[in-house]
């Protein structure tokens, strides 16, 4: 399996709302770097993050382009997040079912066909502007 295959499976699971499928792509000690947040370590912390995100947001990713480098140990993806803000997230504007569309990217490290690090970036100021419109 290539890094590109693993990353594709991860995002396919994301788009299907399949947290277990995402977890299957991760190493036990995965480091999850979220935009504007703290690093979460381990599958349990990642699963807790997914529960929170599913409560506050409904998202689907499209226009996905996946890159692979360094003999399958590194990868990246660029995509567009199409979302709905479902429930107010602490420290963010009030949720009223607003829709948003954002370009975003993720970077990955892999070992033994498992994701050991995932870093996600998007423009938070753009997101806030869209949900406040």
Q: How far apart are CA 99 and CA 133, in angstroms?
A: 10
Do residues 88 and 94 lie in contact, with contact meaning Cβ atoms separated by under 8 Å?
yes
Q: To the nearest whole number, what is the mean pLDDT of the chain? A: 95
Using CA of residue 14, residue 16, residue 19, residue 23, what is the dihedral sign?
negative
pLDDT at 71: 86
Instruction: Give the pLDDT confidence of 66-100 residue by residue, as tens digits.
Output: 999 978 899 999 999 999 999 999 999 999 999 99
Share of the chain above pLDDT 90, in %: 92
pLDDT at residue 129 above 90? Answer: yes
């Amino acid at each position: 399996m290539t890094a590109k295959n693993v990353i594709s499976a991860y995002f396919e699971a994301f788009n299907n709302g399949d947290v277990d499928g995402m977890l299957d792509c991760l190493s036990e000690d995965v480091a999850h770097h979220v935009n504007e947040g703290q690093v979460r370590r381990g599958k349990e912390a990642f699963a807790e993050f997914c529960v929170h995100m599913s409560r506050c947001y409904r998202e689907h990713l499209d226009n996905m382009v996946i890159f692979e480098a360094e003999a399958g140990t590194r990868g990246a993806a660029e995509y567009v997040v199409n979302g709905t803000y479902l429930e107010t997230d602490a420290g963010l504007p009030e949720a009223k079912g607003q829709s948003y569309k954002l370009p975003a990217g993720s970077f990955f490290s892999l070992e033994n066909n498992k994701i050991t690090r995932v870093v996600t970036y998007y423009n938070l100021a753009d997101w806030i502007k869209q949900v406040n419109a």
